[in-house]
Structure 1
Amino acid sequence: MKKILIQLTAVFSLGVMLSACHKAEVVNISQPLVSTANGIKSDTLSGTVKGTMLAGKTYYVKSDVTVNDGDTLMMQSGVHLIILGDGATPASSPEIFMHGTFISLGTKDAPNYITVKNAADLHTQAAAQNYTNVFKGWWGGITCTPAAPTPSKPNPAGGDAIIKWTHIEFGGAPAGTNDDQSFYASGDPRYNMYFANITKNLIIEDSWFFGSKDDNIRVSGGKISIMRNTFELCGGVGGEFFNMKSGTVGDLAYNMCIGAATNSLKASDAGTTGTQCNVNMYNNTMVNGGYRQTKTGRGGSIDYEKSARGSMYNNLVVNCRFGPRITSDADVVNIKYNNQYLYGYSPAIVAQFYSVDGVGTKQSGDIMSTTPQQNDPKFYGYDVNQYNFTANPGPISANLQPYAVIGIGTSNFKLQTSSPALGKGKTDFSPMMAVKTTGDFGTTITLPGKDIGAYQNDGTGNQH
């Protein structure tokens, strides 16, 4: 069987200069050569795999799968990868060990799915407020790390992860002895995705994540570009949508986040990579986050802590348990922030627009008020006052949170033409652009927008 010809490494090493061919995006410059001769014929993946899952086909995983260093596993558009896990034990809850390169190239018209066989029932249960099985953790997620060194390959390089227009959901099954105990102790809930490779790229664009038991995605080192995604209802009693540790560098923008257990986005320099966690978070929308976290004082929207640095602009935070949190042990002098839009139903939420256990303060371009229910952002199809807590509770179990306030459903979070958020964004700064390659196998970076939040009045930004 011919080996798939993917020249990603060469393309990424070129560090191609970016060019803004559209006023709001950095778009395609070059593409690597790809041959799909190594199409995967079997409908079940098992053991060591590589090659291409062919467009429109359904594949199954019923035991752990490994992609070796130097190999690539690719999904063409319209692929369904069904994980046959029960969440009961590590052995019965498969994991994808990605030591090579992973590529999922869904499209708007033909997205990819990495999910479980009973996903439709689980989504229905969530909509019906029966969260017992939604947060069960049915499979082991995707773990992207270099392989362990061997005498024949003492320095395995690992690979990139490139995910576009893809649904990934319902991870969280307990870890076992096959997992690296440095980040997954036996019995720990595994994430929808874990990425740890400081020399490689994690690109996630226009994708959907739902229903993890703990953290949805955790990154412990890597160059990241996280653009225009939807993060929904993750974490049973704790966990972030996107949790970044030491060695993580890059941009997160235009992400729609609703119903996080703790923070939507968290940056911490915890770890020993030797490269400071440095991330820009701009033009994200965060709604009704932070209420399921059972530990006192944890966040609910954006969090910088433990020597992390970066910038935070143009974020729309609505009815989150806590607003932006910058702790005193963060790299405070190197955190730049302004132009947040903060809305709260109750006095207690308004009092925590900037978390009181942090050092962040109101900035000149912020839109916020000391009066509850003032400055409604005016979403097209969502009532911000339906999450009508009169206090700032916590923790509160998922079963006490109507799905309408922690799930997308039929809501529309675009802004009306009368929204106070229009035209109030800061645009005179640049993304970090840590990922240098663009195109089908690179990133498409949407530049800072003039409107606050993930949706722009000119139709750019989040496309969901």
Structure 2
Amino acid sequence: MKTILNKLMAVCALGIMLSACHKAEVVNISQPFVSVANGITSDTLKGTIKGTLLAGKTYYFKSDITVNDGDTLLLQSGVHLIAIGDGLSAATSPEIFMHGTFISLGTKDAPNFITVKNAADLHTQAAAQNYTNVFFGWWGGINCTPAAATTANPSPKGGDAIIKWTHIEFAGGPAGANDNTAIYPSGSPRYNIYFGNVTKNLIIEDSWFFGAKDDNIQVGGGHISIMRNTFELCGGVGGEFFNMKTGTLGDIAYNVFIGSATNATKISDSGTSGIQCTAAVYNNTMIDGGFRQTKSGRGGSIDFEKGARGRAYNNLIVNCRFGLRITPDADFTNVAYGNQYFYGYSPAIVAQFYSADGAPSVTANKAASDIYSTTPQANNPMFYAFDVNQYNFTANPGPLSANVQTYPSVAIGTSNLKLQSASPGLGKGKTDFSPLGSVTATGTYGTTITPPGKDIGAYQNDGTGNQH
């Protein structure tokens, strides 16, 4: 397993822990012109589709849609793709089966939405359909995998998923006969996105995710670059914001994770791909995570387990049920960590900055570069506009039901998560390491990797980092 990974990482002069593959952020790309191939003019999608969803238009689907191997579905900016579903069965919770390439090119001024009806009202908070029942699971999400082999196509390749400035929300409808039971057992909730293709890229930049019933995104193999996104309130009684399995390699940086049921990120080498799951998790902001997980001993922020390896630096972890967790079965000697900034409202949260069932633990292996205190409510990160003490966590927090940890208590809303000039997190980031850089493509259909920042968390005092 490690031999294959080491060959992949040979391009880095010093290996994963001290690599120097990327020294500067890829320059910002000017607004691209994206040509139209097979422009789709009907507002109703069904069956097998390919082509371009045209800028500014709204499209609907109420049954499963499929993009075949070798085909592409591209969303120009300002597209609204609306799932008409009730979440009661697989037949009435439509899914997108993406066996080809998926590209959603929203922009800052004209983002795309892949959501349920009344989305426009929801984002002005004028409708209650889904904020009232946030974990109901109205549709089936996007499933990105190679197609099943056939005589005509014995070796389907699948495609990349490239998602920029896009809102994806409210998936979780129960799986049915069309789903692969290795991914979704019958009746289980489906994710906002499932991606599984060890040879292809999952690129998600500057986008928003909300209201998945279980996992928000699960990756069963692939090259990933997850940059500058916002993840809010996913998972009813379990589920991760970003769950990566064996065969997954890449970077998770400058994201805001707020209100996860379990972890913000789980890095696990469970599976049989033969390519060791490896992630660089840096400069993220993680808030109020882990409290809806009903199973004991898990959930909160960053979790390395089951043979996974990588690094974790410069993450701001605020009021999460558990802090950095590296379980005994992780590849601990190949996990580098430090420069985490912890804040806890209550004694129980402070006691789990370093998870008691892992290393680093409360008594050993803590990083000297971390910012933490054994005193509750010490080291307030000093956000410009977010009260870290607004939610009255109990002395032994969790599990909390969704009707207790409500949308207003864990949503960003009009908050500003940048750090004030007196914050202890400014200037305390580690910058002498490089992203993993598993995704090498750049430009309109590639990634823009933001390198490690000198300030802890997703927002940098110089204006770089998360742009939400």
For this structure pair, what is the TM-score category when the shorter chain's length is used for normalisation?
A: over 0.9
Can you list the C-alpha shifts for 1:348-385, whole angstroms capped at 9, x where unaligned?
11000011111113201100001111110000001111
Number of the residue aligned with 2:396? 392
1:13 maps to: none
1:132 positional shift? 5.3
Q: Which residue of 1 aligns with 2:295?
A: 295
Q: CA deviation at 1:386?
A: 1.2
Alignment map for 1:141-160 (pairs within 5 Å): 141-160=141-160
Counterparts of 1:357 and 1:425, CA distance in 2: 26
- Secondary structure of residue in 1 paired with 2:64: strand
What's the TM-score, normalizing by structure 2? 0.91
In 2, distance between residues paired with 1:122 and 1:400? 21
Aligned-residue offset at 1:124: 7.8
Instruction: Kindly indicate whether the alpha-carbon contact (under 8 Å) linking 1:131 and 1:398 is maintained by their aligned counterparts in 2.
Output: no
Structure 2 counterpart of 1:365, one-letter code? S
The answer as to 2:458 corresponding to 1:434 is no
Unpaired segments ≥5 residues, structure 2: 1-10, 13-19
Q: How does 1:400-439 map to 2 (within 5 A)?
A: 400-439=404-443
Whichever residue aligns with residue 460 of structure 2, its letter is Q
What is aligned with 1:82? 82
Alpha-carbon distance between aligned partners in 1 of 2:118 and 2:34, rounded to the nearest angstrom: 33
The separation in 2 between residues aligned to 1:129 and 1:51, in whole angstroms, is 31
Kindly indicate whether the alpha-carbon contact (under 8 Å) linking 1:203 and 1:226 is maintained by their aligned counterparts in 2.
Answer: yes
Is this contact kept in 2: 1:65–1:97, CA < 8 A? yes
CA distance in 2, matches of 1:191, 1:376: 34
Contact 2:137 2:171 (C-alpha < 8 Å) held by counterparts: yes
Checking the alignment, whether the CA contact within 8 Å between 1:146 and 1:197 is kept in structure 2 is: yes
**Equivalent residues in 2 for 1:153-172 (5 A)?**
153-172=153-172
1:227-266 equivalences under 5 Å are 227-266=227-266
- How far did 1:298 drift? 1.2
- Structure 2 CA distance for partners of 1:24 and 1:388, relative to 1, 3 Å: farther
Query: Could you tell me how far apart the structure 1 residues matched to 2:245 and 2:137 are?
Result: 23
Tell me the secondary structure at the aligned position of residue 26 of structure 1. Answer: coil
Segment of structure 1 superposing worse, 385-394 or 224-233:
385-394
Aligned partners of 2:34 and 2:76 also within 8 Å: no
In the alignment, the residues of structure 2 paired with residue 383 and residue 305 of structure 1 have an alpha-carbon distance, to the nearest angstrom, of 32
Distance 1:126 1:135 in 2: 18
Query: What residue ranges of structure 1 are gaps of 5+ in the alignment?
Result: 1-15
CA deviation after TM superposition for structure 1 residue 437, in Å? 0.6
Corresponding position of 1:368: 372
Aligned partner of 1:380 in structure 2 is 384
Residues 171-212 of structure 1 show CA distances to partners (whole Å, capped at 9, x for unaligned) of 000000100011111100000000000000000000000000
Indicate the percent of aligned positions where both proteins have the same amino acid.
76
Q: Once the two structures are superposed, what CA deviation does each residue of 1:335-359 show, in whole Å capped at 9, x if it has no partner?
A: 0000000000111110000111111
1:48 CA drift (Å): 0.3
Report the residue type matching 1:98 in the other structure. M
**Higher alpha-carbon deviation: 344-353 or 29-38:** 29-38
Match of 2:98 in 1: 98
Task: Tell me the amino acid that sits aligned with residue 159 of structure 1.
Answer: G
2: distance between equivalents of 1:151 and 1:60? Answer: 33
Could you tell me how far 1:445 is from its partner in structure 2? 0.3
* Change over 3 Å in CA distance of 1:285–1:129 after alignment to 2: farther
Compared with structure 1, are the counterparts of its residues 345 and 128 closer, same or farther at alpha carbon in structure 2 (3 Å cutoff)? farther
Q: Provide the aligned length of Structure 1 versus Structure 2.
A: 446
Q: CA 1:123 to 1:290, structure 2 compared with 1: closer, same or farther past 3 Å?
A: farther
Q: Which amino acid letter does the alignment assign opposite residue 89 of structure 2?
A: T
Distance 1:68 1:111 in 2: 26
1:324 and 2:328 are equivalent in the alignment: no
- Within 2, Cα distance between the matches of 1:234 and 1:24? 33
Aligned residue in 2 for 1:352:
352
Whether the 8 Å CA contact 1:140–1:171 is kept in 2: the answer is: yes
The residue number in structure 2 matching 1:281 is: 281
> Distance between the aligned counterparts of 1:102 and 1:130, measured in 2?
26
Tell me: CA distance 1:34–1:71, structure 2 relative to 1, closer, same or farther (3 Å): farther
Structure 2 Cα separation of the partners of residues 212 and 127 of structure 1: 18
CA–CA distance in 2 between the matches of 1:364 and 1:186? 47
> What residue identity is the alignment partner of 2:367?
Q
Question: 1:37 offset after TM fit, Å?
Answer: 3.3
SS of residue matched to 1:250: strand
User: Is the 2:143–2:193 Cα contact (8 Å) retained in structure 1?
Assistant: yes
Are residues 442 and 31 of structure 1, via their aligned partners in 2, closer, same or farther at CA, if it must alter by over 3 Å? farther
Task: Note if contact 2:70-2:100 (Cα within 8 Å) is conserved in structure 1.
Answer: yes
- Given that 1:164 and 1:204 are in contact with CA atoms closer than 8 Å, whether structure 2 keeps it comes out as yes
Of the structure 1 ranges 112-121 and 360-369, higher mean CA displacement relative to structure 2 is found in: 112-121
Distance 1:305 1:280 in 2: 14
**Closer, same or farther: CA 33–58 of 1 in aligned 2, 3 Å:** closer
Query: Partners in 2 of 1:190 and 1:236 — Cα distance?
Result: 13
The CA deviation string for residues 243-264 of structure 1, in whole angstroms up to 9 with x for no partner, is: 0000000000000010000000
Cross-structure match for 2:451? 447
Cα RMSD after superposing both structures: 2.3
Equivalent residues in 2 for 1:47-126 (5 A)?
47-119=47-119
Q: Are the counterparts in 2 of residues 231 and 255 from structure 1 also a CA contact under 8 Å?
A: yes
- Partner SS state of residue 363, structure 1: coil
User: Could you say which residue in structure 1 is the equivalent of 2:204?
Assistant: 204
After TM superposition, the structure 1 stretch with the greater mean CA deviation from structure 2, 443-452 or 400-409, is: 400-409
Q: How much has 1:27 moved relative to structure 2?
A: 2.9
CA distance in 2 between partners of 1:262 and 1:273 (Å): 25
Give distance in 1, aligned partners of 2:127 and 2:330: 38
In the alignment, which residue of structure 1 is the partner of 2:136? 136
Instruction: Give the superposition deviation at 1:126.
Output: 11
User: Which SS does the other structure have where 1:348 is aligned?
Assistant: helix
Relative distance call for 1:125 and 1:33 in structure 2 (3 A) is closer
Normalising by structure 1, report the TM-score. 0.92
1:148 alignment partner, SS class: coil
Q: Deviations over 1:123-166 (max 9, x none)?
A: 68899898652111000000000000001110000000000000
2:408 is paired with a residue of what secondary structure? Answer: helix
